[in-house]
Structure 1
Amino acid sequence: MTRSYLTLALAALIATPVVAAPAVDPALTAAINGPQRSAANKARDAYRHPAETLTFFGLKPNQNVVEISPSAGWYTEILAPYLKAKGSYTAAGSDPAASERAAKGVAAFQAKLAADPAAYDKVKVGVFAKGVYDKATPAGSADMVLTFRNVHNWYIGGFAPEAFKAFYAMLKPGGTLGVVEHHLPESMPDAMQEKSGYMKQSTVVKLAEAAGFKLVGTSNINANPKDTHDYPKGVWTLPPNYAEGETDKAKYAAIGESDRMTLKFVKPK
């Protein structure tokens, strides 16, 4: 009986086709390896896996793509040159009128674009903040909206539901929302989402589904099993922030950057 069961199980396993990961577009590889990227940003590819992540989301060079909260432009260095010839890239960042810090951040981002027109002269700059959503992206015009490690900010700030509704409005029917976020295990207290910088996958999915999105794929591309998720100063304890300074820095360096969920949603047609 046991041999028969094992034989059947083995036969089923052999009969199951192996589905290869999608091939990475050579043009995307070229953008990732391009001279417009800083050495410091390239060094973080080991944690952020841009080729695998963007391929998982289904990025194509002819798409109209909006990145929400690009910060200093880590993904801008890849997306802008990749989409320049055939597509469109909008960086929807902070509202410079919100604070002096926000204004300085926007000015630094714009200076980055101006310093390398060969890579960035086609970039559109929009605004995405509480109560101020991107005006550079007409409703129903985006093929893809991307955001990397930002959901916790909107959740803590009390406008996550509105943020996801704004993404939904930007996208064409059938368009994709790609989300990478610091991952909090479901077994840990919900309250940790209020201040740790980590979010539960179930929470992010509920926010997206409440806005009308459908979850169509998840990936462990950006997972980190070394991350214990329970640090004195939240996710910012880990690199690259090292919020504890020199305290246990070697330990946190050995852990690396945070454990992250990678989620693909679509706006139904």
Structure 2
Amino acid sequence: MKAFALLAAASLVLTACATTGPTSVDLAPVYAAAVANPARADEERKLDASRKPAETLAFLGLRPGMRAADLITGSGYWARLMASVVGPGGSVTAFQPEQFYKAGEEKAKLDALIAASPGVTLARYPFENFAPPANAYDFALINLSYHDLYWESAKYGIPRTDPAGFARGLYAAMRPGAVVGVIDHVGPAGDTRAIVDKLHRIDPAVVRADFERAGFRLEAESPLLANPADDHSKLVFDPAIRGQTDRFFYKFRKPRR
């Protein structure tokens, strides 16, 4: 309860700073309170060691009052954290492809999170047809899922998708000055679609090129989630490395002009 009260108080004080540019206000207590939120499930907390949520959101600069998007939200891990940070003056849209919104444990978790989170809205869409509203968001994050845009799966109903079209749609959805964070498993250079199909990894240079072609500028990259001991030739689901893969972490910004 103490963490929740701290988060609520900080959000009310800081909401006015959301879209006015950089602020010198220390947001560390806001991120810490979001991570400590008692509404978070044990399954979410178990992922914190590998995902470093407070440090991740601090690097990207999520602030109270922002309109944020969690892209390919899964069970809503990041959506809940974002909602705690943006507070009552902000909003979070959790984007989930229809192909991944199927009956099962992950869907049940996401539905429960949405029901318990008035600041989070679920937006479902065909995986191959991402069409968010224009000029809608100050912040977006895609965690460990961008590589899937190069993936095809008859089993899961995933047709061949156009990553360039996704990046262009995301660019149009972001407001001038908005930030997009991209975290993914580091993969080798080569045939991107073949590498993704085999390993579920992606060459960081491919992601950077996709976003820069769409108009984004790479503002910074962080070694926060790097693991030099990871073997980039291993499938990310290999028990020897799962949850500990070497991850690149990019911070893109949409230019103000």
TM-score normalised by the chain length of structure 2: 0.78
Match of 2:84 among 75, 81, 86: 81
* Separation in structure 2 between the aligned mates of residue 189 and residue 226 of structure 1, nearest angstrom: 23
Q: How does 1:134-213 map to 2 (within 5 A)?
A: 134-135=131-132, 138-157=133-152, 158-186=161-189, 191-213=194-216
Question: Does 1:264 find its partner at 2:255?
Answer: no
Figure out how many residues of one structure are paired with residues of the other and give that number. 221
In the alignment, the residues of structure 1 paired with residue 233 and residue 80 of structure 2 have an alpha-carbon distance, to the nearest angstrom, of 32
Structure 2, unmatched stretches of 5+, are 1-24, 153-160
Cα separation, 2, equivalents of 1:27 and 1:192: 39
Match of 1:124, as an amino acid? Answer: T
Q: Deviation of residue 156 (structure 1)?
A: 1.7
Question: Paired residue for 1:61?
Answer: 64
Instruction: Please give the secondary structure, in 2, of the residue aligned with 1:215.
Output: strand
Equivalent AA in structure 1 for residue 29 of structure 2: P
Identity %: 29
Q: Retained in 2: the 8 A contact 1:176–1:265?
A: yes
Structure 1 residues 134 and 61: alpha-carbon distance in aligned structure 2, compared to 1, 3 A threshold: farther
8 Å CA contact 1:178, 1:264 repeated in 2? yes
Structure 2 equivalent of residue 48 of structure 1: 51
Unaligned runs of 5+ in 1: 1-21, 243-251
In structure 2, what is the equivalent of residue 235 of structure 1? 236
8 Å contact from structure 2 (residues 79, 93) kept in 1: no
Alpha-carbon separation, structure 2, partners of 1:263 and 1:211: 15
The 3-state SS of whatever aligns with 1:235 is coil
- Is 1:130 the counterpart of 2:127? The answer is yes
CA 1:42–1:106 in structure 2 vs 1: closer, same or farther (change >3 Å)?
closer
Q: 2:224 aligns with which of 201, 217, 221?
A: 221
Q: Using the alignment, how far apart are the partners of 2:162 and 2:253 within structure 1?
A: 21
Deviation at 1:219, TM superposition (A): 0.5
Deviation at 1:86, TM superposition (A): 1.9
Q: What's the secondary structure of 1:147's corresponding residue?
A: strand
User: Could you say which structure has the larger radius of gyration?
Assistant: 1
